């Protein structure tokens, strides 16, 4: 990841992007009021950060080895909030999502909705099938019934 100096020239930013792409990185650019941050996602072997730190317009470079780099506080210090209906996910409150692993009929999902709401969940989740169960098992049980 590279952080560019305050108000670097477009050519300087493009030079860093071009070098990252040349080395096989995918570049994620975040342009702020004061700085531009370039997140390079890709190979980490034999990359010397000093090669980037000496480039025109570069303020500093950091190697981030943690998973979910693009969602990390280092990449996005302000955090990310996703709005689903009237619920903010990622804000200051904990949001509980609950529901069945697989939904077999309307009555089941309605009962699940009532139960999860009763216990404080704000979002109902469910899948049409359970990956652990073969989809043909549902067809077979329907035929037997």
pLDDT per residue as tens digits for the range 84-99:
999 999 888 899 999 8
What mean pLDDT do residues 36-65 have? 83
In 42-143, DSSP assigns E strands to 58-61, 82-84, 87-89, 97-98, 123-124
- Contacts with 112 (C-beta within 8 Å, 6 or more apart), sequence order: 98, 99, 100, 103, 124, 126
pTM, to two decimals:
0.45
Asked if residue 4 has pLDDT above 60, the reply is: no
First to last CA, the chain: 58
Residue 113 token pair:
């909705």
* pLDDT at residue 81, as a whole number: 87
The confidence band for 101, taking pLDDT boundaries of 50, 70 and 90, is confident
HSE of 80 in the Cβ direction (CA atoms, 13 Å)?
A: 10
pLDDT at 8: 67
Residue 52 backbone dihedrals phi, psi, to 5 degrees? -85, -35
* Residue-level pLDDT at 50: 87
Helix (H) and strand (E) counts in the chain? 4, 8
């Amino acid at each position: 990841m590279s952080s560019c100096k305050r108000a670097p020239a477009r050519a300087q930013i493009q030079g860093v992007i071009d070098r990252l792409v040349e080395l096989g990185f995918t570049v994620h650019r975040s342009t702020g009021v004061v700085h531009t941050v370039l997140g390079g996602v890709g190979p980490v072997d034999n990359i010397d950060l000093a090669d980037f730190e000496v480039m025109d317009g570069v303020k500093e470079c950091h190697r981030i080895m943690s998973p979910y780099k693009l969602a990390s506080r280092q990449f996005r210090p302000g955090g990310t909030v996703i709005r689903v209906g009237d619920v903010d996910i990622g804000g200051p409150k904990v949001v509980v999502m609950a529901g069945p692993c697989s939904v077999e009929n309307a009555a089941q999902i309605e009962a699940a909705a009532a139960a999860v709401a009763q216990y404080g969940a704000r979002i109902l989740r469910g899948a049409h099938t359970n990956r652990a169960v073969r989809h043909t098992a549902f067809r077979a049980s329907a035929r037997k019934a």
